[in-house]
Amino acid sequence: MELLGKNLGEIQSFLVEHKFPKFRAKQLMDYIYKRYIFDFDDMMQLPETMRNWLKEHCKISIPTIVTEKTAPDGQTKKLLLRFADNNQVETVLMKQHYGNSVCVSSQVGCAMGCIFCASTTGGLYRNLETHEIVGQVLLFGALLKERIHSIVVMGAGEPLQNYKNTIQALRFLHEKESFDIGYRRMTLSTCGIVENIYLLADEGIPITLALSLHAPNDTVRREIMPIGGYYELADVLDAVKTYYEKTDRRVTFEYILIDGVNSSIAQAHELGELVKDFPNCNVNLIPVNGNEHIHLFKPSKRNTEAFKNIVASYGVSVTVRKEMGDAIQAACGQLKIQHAKSSDSNATDTEEKSGTRLAEEMAKKQ
């Protein structure tokens, strides 16, 4: 049995079924999620017979760190992780003034094909399992030995395409016995899978919904986001409005600013007109993280500020996202591509050793 991501009730039932006392489940979860001990031999409060049984019948699948990058200011750390089948994903830690925020991936690769995102260049490989999403958060908890304050599902993949596993992971991260993260400190970003936005509205978990809007009309959206050819913007916005009405949660509209594509004065007015009727919404402007993998460019700071002011003139809350990860290629997919392209064996060895060093540091902290 994979223990990672199983809640207290599930572990209790499993242990009782195999003639172990129910209270051992709480001890087991404390070892994993409070003390970050993943080796059954080190769980000394458990009887030796139980430890031996756990080694034979259970596992805790912590992903392997392939490489890491830390921003010069130390506020952002990105890990490239490998799972048991050798597939890799990225996850990012952002140290905010309110606490540690972890950005998790929901899929290996992505099928959405957005032109501004590196994670979609190789297409979709597979969905992540619930325990693989949880494992990304657990790994940062173990490295930091600090509380994880909030979760954003904004890494590689479209989370609403991996609906069941993503929602199970968020429910688990909310459990008191695991990370005890409030739903209001969770954000899920979607390109706009209309039918699953309606499903999410009925889940009863008041997380923040962030719509990857990125264009003020269907014409531009289809050019930069292939999903725009499948769902009309009016239908997407109707679903988002329903989500707001059912959850009473403020909706965020994410808008990547790309020079010469969606950042003109006219488009700023169009965007303001589009979102002005969404109560308490926030428009999050994101200057595109262009690099050698994505040949797109951000507007000047002056033009970004002008765009922001025009949208705000429609009575809409507008922010420009703080650029925390440019120095370490923290946008989705960039570190993975960089690592894969490396043909220098010495460089690869260095990166692998970096991952080993982190694992050793984690062990020492235990």
Of 68, 90, 158, 254, the catalytic one is 90
Name the residue with higher pLDDT: 21 or 334: 21
340 class by beta-carbon count within 10 Å (0-12 exposed, 13-18 middle, 19+ buried):
exposed
Report the domain count for the chain: 2
Residue 261 lies in a domain: yes
- Supply the pLDDT for residue 333: 46
Supply the DSSP symbol for 298.
P
Domain membership of residue 360 (yes or no) is no
The pLDDT, as a whole number, for residue 287 is 94
Say whether pLDDT at 307 is over 50. yes
Does residue 351 belong to any structural domain of this protein?
no
Active-site option among 158, 191, 332, 351: 332
Pairwise CA distance, residues 257 & 214, whole Å: 7
Q: Which of 322, 326, 217, 193 is nearest to 271 (CA)?
A: 217
pTM of the model: 0.88
pLDDT in the model for residue 230: 95
Q: Is the pLDDT assigned to residue 126 strictly greater than 80?
A: yes
Q: Which of 35, 3, 289, 219 is CA-nearest to residue 145?
A: 35
Q: Are residues 78 and 216 in the same domain?
A: yes
pLDDT category of residue 292 using cuts at 50, 70 and 90: low
Q: Quickly list DSSP for 132-146.
A: HHHHHHHHHHHHHTS
Phi and psi angles of residue 228, each rounded to the nearest 5 degrees, phi first: -65, -20
**Tokens (6 digits) for 9:** 């009730």
Q: What is the pLDDT of residue 345?
A: 44
Q: Is the same domain home to 210 and 315? A: yes
Cα 321 to Cα 66: distance, rounded to the nearest angstrom: 28
Q: Is residue 93 a part of any domain in this protein?
A: yes
- For residues 343 and 335, which has the higher predicted lDDT (pLDDT)? 335
Q: Are residues 210 and 182 in the same domain?
A: yes
Return the sign of the alpha-carbon dihedral for residues 77, 322, 315, 212. negative
Q: Are residues 53 and 84 in the same domain?
A: no
Residue 117: partners with Cβ closer than 8 Å, 6 or more residues away = 110, 294, 331, 332, 333
User: Is residue 254 among the annotated active site residues?
Assistant: no
- Catalytic residue status for 332: yes
CATH number at residue 276: 3.20.20.70
Task: Show the domain range for 20.
Answer: 8-57
